[in-house]
């Protein structure tokens, strides 16, 4: 028993370090694509968070400061770690938002926005957006998302050390840059549908001016829907390939320039 008492401080330090890492990693896992999606059962997500914590902890254990003596200070540190994890995790969720933006724009441009499909999130989305989200999530998982996510979590301790908290300047700079690039990427990937919709409306307007007696809307609506589905069939592989390249580039060099 005396020997066990001597190891008690070391076990307390290890427990504190593990729980501190779990606090940040668990916050990242809450919004991580694929692993943190709502269809994944809560117990499975909890086990995944523990497993990722066991992977990340050995790499960052030396940076974890000892537990504060006051309970309030310890809870404050853990609260800052949770906010930091959410901050880093939300940028990964932005890539799912990119696919949702592409799907919404494509559905609106091809008059398919009224067709809703199953969704991995709370809000309903068009069937095109659902297909892109499911396909993109599957591609990311098949491309080693678990390895990239673990590296990303370890890198977060380099950018924001344990207990340091988020600096307002960092939040503003990184947040504005990533939000801008998210919408830029979404609109860029949806460009074929916007161009096709513009051409369709211009041609329809010319035909309507040439033959006012023809009900061009009844003739053009089926053509627009069929053309939109055909365009989606042709462009979906390229959209997903470009999205996966941007996602992989972000995971390799977080907050760096995209290719």
The tens digit of pLDDT for each residue in 132-159 reads 998 999 999 898 888 999 999 998 888 8
pLDDT at residue 242, rounded to an integer: 93
CA 109 to chain centre: 24
Contact present, 103 and 125 (Cβ < 8 Å):
yes
Positions in the chain whose pLDDT score sits under 50: 4-5, 7, 119
In angstroms, the CA 171 to CA 217 distance is 48
How do residues 182-209 score in pLDDT, each as one tens digit? Answer: 999 999 999 988 888 888 778 777 777 7
In angstroms, the CA 101 to CA 116 distance is 14
Q: What are phi and psi of 40, to 5 degrees?
A: -75, 125
User: Rg for the chain (alpha carbons), in Å?
Assistant: 24
The structure tokens listed for 23 are: 């606090």
3-state SS, residue 116: strand
**How many Å is the maximal CA-CA distance in the chain?**
99
Q: Could you tell me which of 14, 20, 155 has the C-alpha nearest to residue 76?
A: 20
pLDDT at residue 256, rounded to an integer: 65
Contact present, 172 and 210 (Cβ < 8 Å):
no
Residue 154 makes CB contacts below 8 A (sequence gap 6+) with 56, 59, 60
The structure tokens listed for 183 are: 């919408």
3-state SS, residue 71: helix
Rounded to the nearest 5 percent, the helix, strand and coil shares of the chain are: 80, 0, 20
pLDDT at residue 2, rounded to an integer: 56
Q: What DSSP character marks residue 186? A: H
pLDDT at residue 244, rounded to an integer: 92
Q: How far is CA 257 from CA 128, 189, 197, 218, in A?
A: 29, 18, 31, 47
What residues form DSSP beta bridges with 125?
117
Name the pTM for this structure: 0.83
pLDDT at residue 5, rounded to an integer: 46
Residue located via tokens 């919404």: 104
Q: What DSSP character marks residue 68? A: P
In angstroms, the CA 135 to CA 213 distance is 44
Q: What DSSP character marks residue 213? A: T
């Amino acid at each position: 028993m005396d020997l066990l008492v001597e190891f008690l401080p070391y076990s307390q330090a290890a427990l504190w370090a593990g729980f501190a890492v779990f606090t940040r990693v668990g916050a990242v896992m809450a919004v991580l694509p694929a692993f943190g999606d709502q269809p994944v059962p809560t117990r499975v997500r909890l086990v995944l968070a523990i497993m990722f914590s066991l992977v990340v902890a050995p790499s960052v254990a030396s940076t974890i400061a000892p537990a504060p003596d006051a309970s309030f200070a310890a809870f404050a540190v853990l609260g800052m770690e949770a906010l930091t994890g959410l901050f880093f995790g939300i940028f990964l969720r932005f890539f799912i938002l990119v696919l949702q933006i592409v799907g919404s724009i494509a559905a609106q441009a091809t008059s398919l926005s009224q067709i809703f499909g199953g969704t991995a999130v709370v809000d309903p989305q068009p069937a095109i957006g659902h297909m892109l989200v499911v396909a993109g999530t599957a591609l990311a998982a098949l491309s080693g998302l678990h390895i990239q996510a673990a590296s990303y979590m370890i890198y977060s301790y380099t950018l924001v050390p344990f207990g340091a908290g988020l600096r307002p300047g960092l939040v503003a700079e990184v947040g504005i840059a990533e939000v801008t690039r998210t919408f830029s990427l979404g609109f860029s990937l949806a460009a074929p549908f916007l161009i096709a919709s513009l051409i369709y409306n211009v041609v329809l307007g010319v035909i309507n001016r040439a033959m006012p007696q023809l009900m061009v809307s009844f003739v053009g609506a089926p053509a627009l829907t069929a053309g939109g589905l055909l365009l989606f069939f042709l462009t979906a592989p390229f959209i997903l390939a470009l999205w996966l390249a941007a996602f992989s580039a972000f995971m390799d060099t977080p907050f760096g320039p995209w290719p």
